[in-house]
Amino acid sequence: MAVQAGHRALLQGVYRLVGASSGCRTHVCSGTGWLSSLPGTRHYSSDPKEDLLVRHLEGEDSGIVVVGINRPKAKNAISKNLVNMMLEAVEDIRKNNKVRSVIICSLVPGIFCAGADLKERAKMQQSEVGPFVSKARALITELGNLPVPTIAAIDGAALGGGLEMALACDIRITSNTAKLGLVETKLAIIPGAGGTQRLPRAIGVSLAKELIFAARVVDGAEACRLGLANHSVEQNKVGDAAYLRALELAREINPQGPIAVRMAKLAINQGIEVDLLTGLAIEEACYAQVIPTKDRLEGLAAFREKRRPQFQGE
């Protein structure tokens, strides 16, 4: 039940609660050194209010948001409470124009997300299952629709709905020891939160069929080779190697023009679903959105003056 003393001391006094009126409260943490500086041996609270921890980085990392899943006893399985908390966190991020990138990670060593919480599912009435799956699917869709870059840092197993969550992110980074797979056919069901659609778009139709039909699980290195992950890194003793690589990538994105990055994501996401001619029209429309911005003028001025631009998202 108790959080390790060092962990509690690190986090004490930096939380604020958002959305308290909704009855579903997401912890938000500010400050630095939150994830990678946690002790190697960690114990976690079983309080459902701490199923999800959201941290807004500060200083030079301002604009990076880290969303940490924290359900150790359930292997970060997707429960009703976690879905509600993540929906609230995603909505808060969507409304915040200061956010420049999001990292989805786990605070539990060796696991990213084991998929649906089957223990909770077994207690549901049959009439409850459909609405819950629909809400989980809506969460993953909303995650995919966030206007800023999203990075899944997969330091452990991402199975079923856990992999579907990662597939909704723009970029996936794995440790070499991570395990990834859409394993639903083992339970005589199919991926129900976008896996049958996003996996083929990520790695191609034939390979996606093979992995889904066989319920195959691949390690991080193989996931990278297949195109399922952008990068695979060697795991470290703490167990957060993928997170650290994701943070490096977020820091590469952070200095770029935030409106430009959002428009680039929109142009890519919408353009990839249509023919080339329509896609070029989408690109033109998105380009038109950046022309009148102050950031574009700042970029030109910084180039002329040979200095680093100071973009404000305006």
Domains and CATH numbers, the chain: 5-253 (3.90.226.10), 258-305 (1.10.12.10)
- How many angstroms separate the CA atoms of 273 and 296, rounded? 28
- How many angstroms separate the CA atoms of 39 and 188, rounded? 40
Residue from 223, 183, 219 nearest 203 by CA: 223
Stretch 45-65: mean pLDDT, rounded? Answer: 84
Q: What is the DSSP letter of 45?
A: -
Residue from 254, 246, 277 nearest 98 by CA: 254
CA torsion sign for 184, 198, 241, 235 is: positive
Stretch 17-33: mean pLDDT, rounded? Answer: 41
pLDDT attached to residue 229 = 96
* Percent above pLDDT 70 for the chain: 85
pLDDT-derived band at 302, boundaries 50, 70, 90: confident
Stretch 194-221: mean pLDDT, rounded? Answer: 95
- How many angstroms separate the CA atoms of 312 and 296, rounded? 10
pLDDT attached to residue 46 = 53
pLDDT attached to residue 118 = 78
pLDDT-derived band at 311, boundaries 50, 70, 90: confident
| Least-confidence region, from 37-41, 62-66, 124-128, 228-232 | 37-41
| Least-confidence region, from 13-17, 213-217, 218-222, 261-265 | 13-17
Give 119 or 190, the one with higher predicted confidence.
190
Query: Is 70 exceeded by the pLDDT of residue 6?
Result: no
CA 200 to chain CA mean position, Å: 19
Query: Is 70 exceeded by the pLDDT of residue 2?
Result: no
pLDDT-derived band at 313, boundaries 50, 70, 90: confident
pLDDT-derived band at 159, boundaries 50, 70, 90: very high
- How many angstroms separate the CA atoms of 74 and 59, rounded? 34
* Percent above pLDDT 90 for the chain: 64
- How many angstroms separate the CA atoms of 265 and 232, rounded? 23
Query: Is 50 exceeded by the pLDDT of residue 13?
Result: no
Per-residue pLDDT tens digits for 252-270? 999 999 999 999 999 999 9
Residue from 4, 54, 62 nearest 25 by CA: 54
Q: Which residues are catalytic?
A: 116, 161, 164, 184
pLDDT attached to residue 198 = 96
Per-residue pLDDT tens digits for 32-52? 344 444 433 333 445 667 889
Query: Is 70 exceeded by the pLDDT of residue 17?
Result: no
- ∠ CA 261-53-102, nearest 5°, is 10
Query: Is 70 exceeded by the pLDDT of residue 161?
Result: yes
